[in-house]
Amino acid sequence: MGGRTRYQPSYDAAREAKQRDSVMRRGDPPQSLSDAEIGRGEVAVTRSPEPIAVAAWARYGLTPILVNAFTSTWTSRAVEIVWRTPTGDTHRAWVWANAVARRSITTDERLGALPPLR
């Protein structure tokens, strides 16, 4: 008789989602890079007229969380991301550029079920 290896991935995903939601619900602000890390004043800042959907690693204290976010501002080093928490709050942080990847827009985002992030 084996363990629950057949269903383990779904258990792991549910546990990770619960942990992610509880960390964001605490109300602590996400960590953001400093101006020196961003390269403010040293490297060019690019601004997009339209937000771009991204998946990015954000940090709440020592906890890294993969969030569905949007960006419209970045440098060669860092990207400013904006996302909504499970409580509906809008969070914003600068993260390293290699912690960000483009993603497809969800159906809710496409249909306007979620209010726009600003």
pLDDT in tens, 38-58: 998 899 999 999 899 999 999
Distance of alpha carbon 73 from alpha carbon 101, whole angstroms = 14
The arithmetic mean of pLDDT across residues 64-80, rounded, is: 94
Distance of alpha carbon 113 from alpha carbon 68, whole angstroms = 15
Yes or no: say if 79 and 95 are a contact pair by the CB < 8 Å rule.
Answer: yes
Q: Which amino acid is at 52?
A: I
| Per-residue confidence (pLDDT) for residue 100, from 0 to 100 | 97
| Per-residue confidence (pLDDT) for residue 8, from 0 to 100 | 64
Write down the mean pLDDT value for the chain. Answer: 84
